[in-house]
Structure 1
Amino acid sequence: MPPRTALRQRRAQLERDWECWVAHRSPGAAAAVDPEVTQSWARALPEVSPARDSAPSCADARWQDSPLREPVLASTAELRSIAEDAGYVAAVADAGGTILWTFGGRVMRRRAERVNFAAGGRWSETAMGTNALSLALDHNRPATCFSAEHLVQALHGWVCYSAPVHAPNGKVLGVLDLSTTWDRSHPLAMPTVRTLVSALEARLAESPLDLAPAGWSLRCLGRGELLDGGAPVPLRPRQLEILTLLTLHPDGLTPEQLQDALYADRPVHRTTLKAEVSHLRRALRGGVTTRSYHLCAPVASDARAVLDALAAREVTTALRHYRGSLLPDSEAPGIREWREIIEVALREAVLRSPQTDHLLAYLSRHPYDLEAHQLALRRLDPADVRRGVVLAQLHKLRSA
């Protein structure tokens, strides 16, 4: 039977079951409907009218404060490609089912907005009845809702695929959803959602350093920031460079070595360096020695963590800590040297690793590495949905 015909027949059967169960309140008549769906119908019916035309709005939805914001924006290219090429609307909701962010082509986005499948729309079971987002959150696992499985009749023209997104400690942070019209239902949609969620969870695991809440921590990969017990400490770029170099040289540097690493042959007076070190020392509450410079206070560094993990051949750990190039805006000779060391060592470890997931995690940070994309393409099984993302990026690189 052609796929479209099978979908049409399934939709017709679900509509008949919905009519009996929901419209005529005849429990037990919905033979084709999953019991989890009918149980959701039963819970939601006292609060949600099946005739509702759109989701209620929440004025307090705060995408800016969501822990999902950074990993989702880092995945925008993949989400954009799927939404535009396959005719889906991508959405991210918080743990309460309120949508925080959506993306889709103009036609699908307008269609979604008619039912308030947009930022601020409330899609919990108590707000909008049975839908994929509410099922995924209520059962803490991926869920699909096709056509008349939705309690609200205005959603019978849709099919939605959702999966919860977890923090590294297992806490549910929200849900990722891909939605489209019922006739575009596809068996690869749910594996695609699972893959995207895995990528988001990997990025969430990369974000924090494995540190106790108290203590100093330096983030110098992808950006520069010193934290004191999680609170930012204001430092100028030069002071961040000095601190980064000292964490990478645990035995310390002489004033001459540090000056050479920062300025090379530039004519900079020694008092300039001393002033920068003095400011850093005050920020660390005396944590830098005075003559031969080294740290006398423990400062955990993501760059040091990557190098230590690579030395121990723990590629997964190294990738978890790696968030980008070492102080990418710095032109200091010592920083440039360490930047190349870290990049070459990580790339070599990833290319030699037998785990394809290592390669894909690396490519999420280095989307322009042609050789790595070619290797990923050779390793991925033809049925793996991630292969399409690699192929698309490879095509862009070759046509650039």
Structure 2
Amino acid sequence: MGLRSLEAALPAGVDPRQHARVLALIHDAALSGRALPGRPRPVIGASWQRMRRLGLDPDRGAPGIRLKIEEIEERRRGSGLAEVLPALRAGLLPMAEQAAHIMVVTDAEGRILWREGSAPVRRRADAIGFSEGVDWHENAVGTNAIGTALVARRPVQVYSAEHYVRAQHDWTCAAVPLRDPRDGRLIGAVDLSGPASTVHPTTLALVDAVAQLAEAGLRSAHGTELERLRGIAVPVLAKVRGRAVAVDPHGWVAATSGLAPLDRIALPTGCSPGRAWLPAYGSCRIEPLPGGWLVRLADGEDEAGTQPTRVVLDVRAPREPTLTVSGAAGTWTHRLSPRHAEMLYVLACRRDGRSASELSLDLFGDAARTVTVRAEMSRLRRHFGGVLGGRPYRFADDVEVVVERPEDPAEVLPHSLAPAIRG
């Protein structure tokens, strides 16, 4: 675990009050259509554009409905966040109490599930509806650290008039998305918020470090689950004829027989017992194990006609991009990570293929980041070996590729800053 490169809302050495005045001028000019006296940060500017397209009222936001207590409790139980809450409290509440902040934890939809910290600040937060059970996604309350971090899928700090809705200009907030390390799924966000006068450039780094510690706890618990599955699977695999692999429900490999070890294989969404085509292995038979699946490769069976013939990349739902693979063996759907969705989208739009340097330029605006590109493409090709080719990276020539897009091109992977997508 290490600290990521983070962009604070308040540049080091800048007077907060003067900076807030400049931001207010930029905000007013952007909303009125006048020439901007300066440029908002890219993450803020992209969010403001989304709010204008949405038609959100900058004075009031959208009408919000507060969940009932029993609904909040139900979301808490189903969110998967209760496991990380002790680590978040231990890391952030002492600072929140001392620095006149509150700690807020939301689910993946932006609903506030927990809010703790300074009592005076909690009372101030009540005045703008910043309380448990309220939707704090961008679509409801405009640009803010929680909602924008959930869309951008990265840590975000928002200060003063960077908030789209004027009622929030007296606030500063720093939020970090939380992911389940088992499948990379976004499960929520953690945020530190307080009066704008309490802004500090290191707050985001603190929240990010604590969030990474919390996710490390989930990763450790997952390792224990895999060890338990391994203890069950090894005796089973010893009796299996042919090649087989034992995986947990998320595709993480616990044990193998007759196969080169992999960390993870991509399973179909809603995996169930029976015959299935898996991109990593071809035709397989899937059987249940306590805490996972036994995947038997269909060695010796006729593989003719089982190769994929059609893939559909669906990016219409910004939080749930998927790849659906179809062929004579059936249909298989897998949820994609934000980075893999970006890469597959570029390759779907460029059927002639892209070299590592070209893909690096497409994704990062820098042709030199080929090491990152090759590592991610290696993971993709392990998952989708029958669909993707190399040299150059591309979808297989004999596979039909369909891209399902939202009507508004600006809503294609809204979290992405990749030049090939945003350009």
Give the TM-score taking structure 1 as reference length: 0.50
Q: Which has the larger radius of gyration?
A: 1
Give the TM-score taking structure 2 as reference length: 0.47
Structure number with the higher strand fraction is 2
Structure number with the higher helix fraction is 1
